[in-house]
Amino acid sequence: MAFESFQVHLCSSDADIINNNNTADCVFNMPIIEIDSQNHIYLSVVHATIPYTFYQINSSNNYLVYSYNGIKNDLTITEGNYNVYNLATYLQTNLPNTTVSYSSITNAFTFTCTSNVNFAFYLESTCLPLLGFASGSNPLSFYASSNYILTSTQAVNLITTNCLCIYSNLKTYSFNKSKVNDQSVLCSIPINVAPCGMIIHSNHDNYKCNTFTNVISQIEIKICDQEGNIINLNGSNWTITLQFDILNYT
C-alpha cells in the first residue's frame, strides 16, 4: 500500500466565504484534488490555534422563560462572560421583584420574590443548567417556587463549553451524539485555557479519517461546541493545518 501526503494551512482571514459574518464558519476554495477510484483520501487536523473569544453565555443558552402568579414572561440574558456573582446581580436587576443570592458552600442560586408571589422557571428556557436546574427532567415542565423561594436543584455550572468540535463539509462518519446525522466531525479539541487565551491543538495520536471521496475542490470548516452549536468568535481569526494522505490500495 503506497501513499503520499501534503498539507494545507488555513486561516479564517483568508476564507473565500464567511457564513453569517461568523469566522467560526468558513469556506475555502481549493485547487481541485482528484484521485483514481482505487485510492482513498484521508484527512487529519495536524494543528490548530483558536482564540477563546467566544462567550460562555451566548445565543444558545441565554433564554429564560418565567412566570409570576401564573403570568408568563421571558428574559434574554445579555451575551458575555459572567461569574456567579455578576450573573446573580444581572438576574436581580432584570427579574421583577426578585432578589438573587449565591452560596459558595452549596454552589447554588436562591431566588426570592419580594412581592410575596409564587413564580416558576420553565423547561423551555435554555439557561437552566447555568442557574443550577436540570433541563428536560421535570415532569411538570417547570420549576416552581415554594413560599416565594426557589433554590437551584443541582450545581450551578457556568463552564458552558467543554470542548470544540471541528466539522467539515466532507463525510467522515465521525459524529457528535447531539447531532448524529451530521457525520462530518474531524476532531474534538479540549479547552484547557481561560477566556481570552489561545486554544492550541496538536494531533499527537496522528488520528485521521477517510473522506470517502475522490474529488475535493472546497473545504468548509465549522467550529462548534460539544452540542454541535457553531460558536461565535466575535470576529477573531483562527488557523488550522490539514493533512491529506492519499492511499493507493492497488
Residues 201 and 83 in one domain: no
Range of the domain at 170: 2-54+161-248
What pLDDT digit, counting tens, does each position of 20-33 carry? 999 999 999 999 88
Residues 42 and 77 in one domain: no
Residues 97 and 140 in one domain: yes
Residue after which a domain boundary falls, among 151, 179, 195: 151
Please provide the average confidence, as pLDDT, over all residues in the chain: 92
What's the average model confidence in pLDDT over 44-62? 96
CATH code, domain with 42: 2.60.120.1100
Residues 50 and 168 in one domain: yes
Q: What angle do CA 43, 44, 48 make, to 5 degrees?
A: 140
Burial letters 196-216, b for 16+ CB under 10 A, else e: eeebebebeeeebbbbeeeeb
Per-residue pLDDT band for 82 (boundaries 50, 70, 90) equals very high
pLDDT at 87: 98
Residues 136 and 206 in one domain: no
Residues 120 and 165 in one domain: no
Q: What is the DSSP letter of 31?
A: E
Residue from 195, 182, 186, 170 nearest 241 by CA: 186
Residues 144 and 169 in one domain: no
Q: How many domains does the chain have?
A: 2
Classify the phi-psi angles of 177: left when phi > 0, otherwise alpha if psi is within -120 to 50, otherwise beta: alpha
Rounded to two decimals, the pTM is 0.86
What's the average model confidence in pLDDT over 13-22? 96
Kind plus residue range of the DSSP H or E element containing 245: strand 239-248
Given the C-alpha cell 476532531, which residue does it identify?
A: 187
Please indicate, yes or no, if residue 156 is contained in any of the structural domains.
no
Residues 48 and 68 in one domain: no
Residues 14 and 87 in one domain: no
Q: Which residue has the higher pLDDT, 147 or 175?
A: 147
pLDDT at 249: 65
Please indicate, yes or no, if residue 147 is contained in any of the structural domains.
yes
pLDDT at 205: 86
Residues 14 and 44 in one domain: yes
Residue after which a domain boundary falls, among 151, 185, 218: 151
Q: What is the DSSP letter of 243?
A: E
Residues 78 and 30 in one domain: no
139 pLDDT more than 70: no
